[in-house]
A and B are shown apart, each in its own frame.
Chain A
Amino acid sequence: MSGIPALPALPPRGAAARRPVRLTAEERAVRRRDYFSAILFMAPALLLVSIFLLAPVVYNILISFTGWSHFKGFNRFVGLANYRHAINNPDFSAAASNTVVWVIASLVLPVLIGLGLAVLLRGLKGEEFLKTIFFLPRLVAPTAIGAIWYYVYADNGVVNTILKQVGAGRFAESWLYQASTATPAMIIAYVWQTTGLVMVLLLLGLAALPRDPIEAATVEGASRWQIFRHIVLPMLMPTVLVVTTISIIAGFTTFDLVWVMGRDYPNPSSLTLAIHQYWESFRSGHWAYGAAIAVLLGGIALIVTLLQVILQQRVESRIR
């Protein structure tokens, strides 16, 4: 939850706009001192961010254009070779297509179920209780969730046992070992974990909506669905957009859950792009190639965020 919020609204400009035309010497001195204090106040944050985040980003981009050697490090400029290697690498293609499945599923399922639950549970008698049930998985760390679901899907685990008990034993499967089932199985665990959060975020959005238009429409005899479709949903759109962006980026960078559940997979490197990146760099020592994958992931995140900003502005201008 640390990163990936919406891009900020720009700060109120009032103070800056009130700039006087001419400054006295004393005022200039105050300004200089203010600038100096501002830098001092920002210094810890600036230092932390530039040393541990921004410099690494630059370094990562640079090395993605170099060649690697297992023990000698980055030795020569190779242009786009690492990126070309990605295109020719079957594990990369598999990981990329799995990641697309992840993004779509982790977007559609939690948002859909979460939206349904949010609308459904609102104002219900057992709202708090049911909300807590759906939110509960979110409180458990993804690593722990992965460990629990790992055994749910084990050969003698929960799923296979239930299948055998209901006489469907022939459908029992090594869920986390087969290319066709591993990704869906992990996505189910992921949906189980994230839907509650999405629901709560949407409920917060719903709670913030103005009541008047809804009440007016009710008086005019609009059906619940009409009210939802034509009044609630458009007003909720900004929240849905933020939640969508969070979901997309979280979906395609999910690491812990997939790692804990998927490291027994025959070739984990083909599971998702985040795992591919980790595996190629930290297990196989293909640092420069791993850096290139990270750049690709960063590029996708940037595009998604930009899209969200553009859509957000559109939606907001339509509401006003």
Chain B
Amino acid sequence: MSVAGSSRRFALAGAATLAVLWLVPFYYAVSTICKSTAQYLSGTPLSLPPSLSSLPGNIEAAWAQTQMGQGMLNSLGYGVLGAGGAVLAAASAAYALARIVFPARTTWFMVIFAGTVFPFQIYLIPLFQGYARFGLLNTRLGLLMAYMAICVPFPTLVLRNHMGQIPRDLDEAARMDGCSHFRIFRSIILPNSTGPLIALFLLQFTWIWNDLIFSMVLTTETAQRSVMNALMVFQGNYAGTTPNLVITASVLASLPTVAVFLLLRRYFMQGLSLSVHA
């Protein structure tokens, strides 16, 4: 046992070292956002900031120059409406697939699920060209619809599996009483699925919040672009940007999803396990 114990201590030391290494970029980010531009440029990147006094100024400048308020509002809209709409559409489809008997269910399911088989790259050109033709380019509606569609297939899969496991006695009794499918869906199946619904919503919300490529391709104007797009433009627009401001903007843009994670950790973990065990 002592041999195993020492090898375990050795391994633990290794894990701890790795953990410290893992924290270096965070340390760099946190120390950088506390430095003024002059402090950053004159010191070494890893030096400690002399005080926290530059932080408010950095936040203010990064917020204003990125037009982050607009970006966050847009992303909030895309995330809430996109993930919400997608999860609802998925739940409704999953209800049909799991609780109604009808021909060729698997085929219908495969049609919806086919949307996850392809890498995103295959959608970019058609969406861009199609949107240009139908006037959806650079509109919030266009980007929202794309997000919503992308977020439908996976929740459909998860919810279909989940709804298939809800005992059938419940809705069969309700059907005997003459309840419509909608009533059963609304008052029996949905309330029994809140856990996965929340988990899936969070998963898709985070994905939409973090997405860059669709926002880059489908919206490039300040009024419609997402927060990540705003960050990307700011980082690439070198005139007037300095590392401390770009990193402040990066941290700001990431805070909402980190906060959501910390608040709703349980659901997040559930969402993650869904993605493996589905």
Contact = CB atoms under 8 A, between A and B. Distances in A.
A130 interface: yes
Contact of A8 (B11, B118, B161): B161
Contacts of B129: 59, 287
Given A143-B231, A148-B247, A278-B124, A305 B210 contact: no
B106 A149 contact: no
A156 B275 CA distance: 40
Interface in A61-84: 63
B240 to A, nearest CB: 16
Nearest to A196: B22
Nearest to A113: B18
Interface string B170-203: 0000000000010001000000000000000001
A294 B118 CA distance: 9
B217 interface: yes
- 9 residue pairs, one from A and one from B, having the closest CB atoms: A56-B126, A52-B149, A144-B250, A41-B96, A45-B93, A44-B89, A256-B212, A38-B96, A141-B210
B149 A48 contact: yes
How would you classify the secondary structure of chain B's contact residues: helix, strand, loop or mixed?
helix
A168 B57 CA distance: 36
B152 A16 contact: no
Given A45-B93, A136-B22, A297-B121, 8 more contacts: A34-B181, A38-B100, A44-B88, A139-B254, A141-B209, A143-B210, A144-B251, A305-B117
A281 B121 CA distance: 11
B247 A147 contact: yes
Interface range on chain B: under 10, 10 to 19, 20 to 34, or 35 or more? Answer: 35 or more
Interface stretch (A90-98, A116-124, A171-179, A209-217): A116-124
A295 B122 contact: yes
Contact of B25 (A42, A143, A192, A201): A192
Contacts of A298: 117-119, 121-122
B160 interface: yes
A59 B126 CA distance: 6
Interface of B: 4, 11-12, 14-16, 18-19, 22-26, 28-29, 32, 44-46, 86, 88-90, 92-93, 95-98, 100-103, 105-106, 108-109, 111-130, 145-146, 148-154, 156-157, 160-161, 164, 181, 185, 203-204, 206-207, 209-213, 217, 228, 231-232, 235-236, 243, 246-247, 249-251, 253-254, 257-258, 261, 269, 272-273, 275-278
B123 A56 contact: yes
A278 B146 contact: no
Interface range on chain A: under 10, 10 to 19, 20 to 34, or 35 or more? Answer: 35 or more
Interface string A20-41: 0000000000010011011101
Contacts of A197: 272
A3 B123 CA distance: 13
A80 to B, nearest CB: 18
A197 B273 CA distance: 11
Contacts of A49: 111-112, 114-115, 149, 152-153
B98 to A, nearest CB: 7
Contacts of A60: 122-123, 125-126
A309 to B, nearest CB: 11
Nearest to B32: A151
B151 A161 contact: no
Contact of B254 (A8, A16, A140): A140
A200 interface: yes
A203 to B, nearest CB: 10
B126 A55 contact: yes
Contact of B154 (A3, A37, A42): A3
A150 B235 contact: yes
A287 B125 contact: yes
Interface in A185-202: 192, 197, 200-201
Contact of B276 (A154, A156, A243): A243
A39 B45 CA distance: 59
A120 B93 contact: no
B25 A152 contact: yes
Interface in A100-142: 113, 117, 120-121, 124, 130, 133-134, 136-137, 139-142
Contact of A297 (B100, B122, B211, B212): B122
Contacts of A34: 100-102, 181
Contacts of A50: 111
A130 to B, nearest CB: 6
16 contacts: A3-B115, A3-B116, A37-B100, A48-B89, A48-B148, A53-B115, A54-B111, A56-B127, A60-B122, A63-B125, A133-B23, A141-B212, A156-B45, A256-B210, A290-B125, A297-B122
A162 B28 CA distance: 12
A49 B15 CA distance: 44
A157 B45 contact: yes
A253 B254 contact: no
Given A56-B126, A278-B213, A291-B125, A48 B23 contact: no
A252 B120 CA distance: 11
